[in-house]
Amino acid sequence: MSVSILLLSLLLLIVGAMAQRIAGLGFAMVVSPFLVLVIGPHQGIVLVNLCGVFSSLLIIHHVWKDIRWRPFIWLIIPALIGSLPGSFLANAMPAGPLSVIVGAMVLIALGVTAILTRKGHSLKDTGPHRGVAGLFAGFTNSLSGVGGPVLTAYAELTRWPQRDFAATLQPFFIITGSFSAATKVISDPTTMPVFDWWQWLLLAAAIVIGVQVGNKLAPKVHDKLARRLVLIMAVVGAVTAVVKGVVDTIGG
């Protein structure tokens, strides 16, 4: 990794960790497209998973009291189930077409959600509904490193309060990211990123800096603004997945 690419990676990690602390998600949406482009789709997604886990581990004690454990259980078990086919497809199939499919499905979900919420419709926050959202989020997280947009659509449709939503996502991302990275590396050891020890140290330091800056900014950001930022990042993440998938497919 060249110096310029390393510096840009560190900057993106700082911004991604800041977004994760303030809005509850956004880390993968910020860093995934670039890292996948720089080190390849398979190692890039594993690196995003690992860095996302570390970011959430740094954040979770700040939001522990706001975590809703019952919805978390309903989300996490189906998510782990969904992660298995996602990991298999991520290792076995071309990344381009899969990125297009995942990004398009997320955009459709966000679009339908926006239409329904504007018309005053909502979805009851029940266990089975959470299970479906968790299943798809686990699948997309394992497949592309980005599971947040799916959960954003669900949170909007069920009117899930932003503070509880952001807090509950941290243990979700810790477990799904760890599980996704482990299943990929176990099935194909070459997907584990290879860096010098000092590069790993710099990556970790960038995430720590981002979380610390986010800690300072989080109390100053209103919940409504945070939710708006989440929606914007979800759309950007989905669009990026589609564009990158098209480019990869054409280039391949």
Per residue in 156-203, pLDDT tens?
888 888 889 989 999 999 999 899 889 889 988 988 988 889 999 999
DSSP 84-103: HHHHHHHHHS-HHHHHHHHH
* Alpha carbon distances (Å) from 76 to 7, 36, 43, 136, 137: 34, 25, 24, 11, 9
**Residue 60: band (very low, low, confident or very high) from pLDDT cuts 50, 70, 90:** very high
Question: pTM (2 decimals)?
Answer: 0.82
**Residue 211: band (very low, low, confident or very high) from pLDDT cuts 50, 70, 90:** very high
Which range scores top for mean pLDDT: 44-48, 78-82, 127-131? 78-82
Report residue 111 as tokens.
Answer: 């679009």
Of the two residues 54 and 30, the one the predictor is more confident about is 54
Report residue 244 as tokens.
Answer: 């990158």
For residue 77, pLDDT over 90 is answered with yes
- What lies within 8 Å, CB to CB, of 85 at 6+ separation is 139
**Selection from 238, 149, 139 nearest residue 179 by Cα:** 139
Of the two residues 107 and 171, the one the predictor is more confident about is 171
Chain-wide mean pLDDT for the chain?
83
Region 130-143 average pLDDT: 86
For residue 84, pLDDT over 80 is answered with yes
pLDDT at 229 (0 to 100): 76
Q: What is the pLDDT of residues 7-40, one digit of tens each?
A: 888 988 998 899 889 888 778 777 776 777 677 7
* Phi, psi dihedrals of residue 83, rounded to the nearest 5°: -65, -30
Distance CA 17, CA 210 (A): 5
Q: With contact defined as beta carbons under 8 Å apart, do 163 and 66 qualify?
A: yes
Least confident range from 75-79, 153-157, 202-206: namely: 153-157
**Selection from 189, 193, 241 nearest residue 50 by Cα:** 193
**Residue 144: band (very low, low, confident or very high) from pLDDT cuts 50, 70, 90:** low
Distance CA 135, CA 90 (A): 16
**Residue 113: band (very low, low, confident or very high) from pLDDT cuts 50, 70, 90:** low
